Amino acid sequence: MRFNLLLISIVLLLTAACARQIETKIKAESPDTQNYTHEVIVTDLVSPWSIAFLPQGGMLITEKSGELILFKDDTKTNIQGVPDVHLNGQGGLMDIELHPNYAENGWIYISYSSRKGEGKGSNTAIIRAKLANDTLIEIEELYKGTPNTTRGVHYGSRITFDNQGYLFFSIGDRGSRDTNPQDITLDGGKIYRIHDDGRIPDDNPFIDQENGKKAIYSYGHRNPQGMTKHPETGEIWSHEHGPKGGDEINIIHKGKNYGWPVITYGINYSGTTITDKTNQVGMEQPLFYWVPSIAPSGMAFLDSDIYPDWQGSLLVGSLKFACIERITLIDNQVTAREKILENLGRVRSIKIGPEGYIYAGVEGLGVVMVLPKTTE
């Protein structure tokens, strides 16, 4: 038994060392081509947290301040009926996603910082609603993190659907790293899975755990602000903010522990050590991690013939470096990184439009479309 544990520890250490070596190599080989241009599609936005494209044309845009905007036919319309949003630090009106069968059922899913429930402050809530006459109607609360806290950090809050129609969403550790992420009886530092109407799936990993939060799908997360479905495997991919260094990309697996704050490749903002561990038996290693941090937000796989040289890339917004990081993957290994859409502003959201173009929500600017340059 001791020998097996020793062998596992050695393997984990070698894996972590390889990850560091690969990261260094990737940085040295990062391309810096300029084979694209851009066009600002929607102007005068402050913090466009998310974008959703409507099948009948136009897009819905969430502003962190609490505005839900319909942009259609070059006109912006403020949608009425948005719930009371607690604008608090990193919290506000956040992600928006359409039901996979939106054309048939009309459901829109939104995450926001809500004051409802126990305690002062707010916590992340997930709702669904329908849109009629530029107003949200039939609003239903599907999940609400508890308890509220006045801390203004780590709401998480990305939403995505998998191929089976389950709704995944994230809630960050809400600034309570030493309690929330590793305790499945508490909200925060988790990724959750529910049915599209809020019911808890019978096969969720902690459904039979006494006092456990039944909606939890994975735990040990810090602040996941990117989540998307892999277009080929159907797996849910996520990225999360580390502290100073240690931002991560993870493939989300049922019931797995992703380690925060027991293991991390980051340190405190002050420069002091959080932990001397970067791996531990029973905790997942990231597929990739960034040192230094890029402050990732927004995430999408590119599956579009419009950009043939970028086909299959993973796109990650960087708040810190004000760009989109285009990541090349081979067999789930990061082999190259490239900065695109640089110096326009902090990239908060990324979506692939229905026609296959890349759209980004850029703070202080608006929604930007990335265009490949034409050659003659």
Question: Using CA atoms, how far apart are residues 366 and 353, in angstroms rounded to an integer?
Answer: 15
Mean pLDDT over each residue of the chain, to the nearest integer: 92
Concatenating the DSSP letter of every residue in 303-368 gives --TTSGGGTT-EEEEETTTTEEEEEEEETTEEEEEEEESTTS--EEEEEE-TTS-EEEEETTTEEE
Amino acid of residue 110: I
CATH code, domain with 322: 2.120.10.30
Concatenating the DSSP letter of every residue in 203-234 gives T-TTTTSTT--TTEEEE--S-EEEEEE-TTT-
Domain that holds residue 129: 2-372
Residue 184 neighbours by CB under 8 Å, 6+ apart: 190, 206, 209, 212, 213, 216, 219
Q: How many domains does the chain have?
A: 1
Which token pair is 37? 């241009």
* pLDDT tens-digit series, residues 30-77: 444 568 999 999 999 999 999 999 999 999 999 999 999 999 999 999
Q: What pTM value is reported for the model?
A: 0.92
- Check if the beta carbon of residue 46 is closer than 8 Å to that of residue 65: yes
* pLDDT tens-digit series, residues 278-317: 999 999 999 999 999 999 999 999 999 999 999 999 999 9
Classify 84 as helix, strand or coil: coil
233 CB neighbour count, 10 Å cutoff: 11
**Rounded mean pLDDT, 206-217:** 97
Which token pair is 213? 């939060």
Asked if the peptide bond before residue 31 counts as cis, ω within 30 degrees of 0, the response is no
* pLDDT tens-digit series, residues 186-203: 999 999 999 999 999 999
Classify 6 as helix, strand or coil: helix
Classify 18 as helix, strand or coil: helix
Share of the chain above pLDDT 90, in %: 89
> Which positions are catalytic?
154
